[in-house]
Amino acid sequence: MRENLSPETIAIVKATGPALRRHGVEITTRMYARLFEDASIKDMFDQAAQASGEQPRRLAAAILGFAENVDKLQALDGAIARMVQRHVDTGVQPDHYPKVAAALLPAIREVLGEEVATDEVLAAWAEAYTFLADILIGKEQAAYAEAA
């Protein structure tokens, strides 16, 4: 896992975060359309939505929001602990993370267009996502090991 993201990546993610959030619903809708082509992932969310009474739409919004806070994650410890808990409850595994990235990044490009969502912008978002994913994966694996 990387110690930290580069200042360039942080600057790009922060600069493009507001545009992504403005188009959040559209990005989310497209992301889930791609992600739920995998029935095993769709089932995880159906169950989670039933259990919590919430729509899984929060996931994409959370990823965008947390990526914008990549440079001050220590302030988000409580929120991260909650995510880890939800993920452990719903059985999220390390190999799910690339699938979410593969659904999210093309959705960003489709909605913002390639003039805004350039290769450089998408690479920065991919890096920020991976950085967060590594933190969550580490904590989730520790929680699974403890429960076993």
How far apart are alpha carbons 67 and 18 in whole angstroms?
Answer: 11
Cβ–Cβ < 8 Å for 11, 127: no
Angle at 83 between CA 77 and CA 85, to 5 degrees: 105
Per CB under 6 A, the list member of 5, 117, 124, 133 interacting with ligand HEM is: 133
The reply to whether 140 belongs to the active site is yes
- 97 a catalytic residue: yes
Q: Of 5, 12, 20, 48, which one interacts with ligand HEM (CB under 6 A)?
A: 48
Mask of contacts with ligand HEM, 90-129, x by CB under 6 A? Answer: x-x---xx--x----------------------------x
Alpha-carbon gap, residue 77 to 100, rounded angstroms: 22
Q: How far is residue 66's CA from residue 80's CA, in Å, rounded to a whole number?
A: 9
Q: Which is nearer to ligand HEM, 93 or 113 (CB)?
A: 93
Identify whether the C-beta of residue 49 lies closer than 8 Å to the C-beta of residue 111: no
Per CB under 6 A, residues contacting ligand HEM are 41, 44-45, 48-49, 52, 54, 56, 58-59, 62-63, 66, 82-83, 86-87, 90, 92, 96-97, 100, 129, 132-133, 136
Catalytic residues: 97, 140
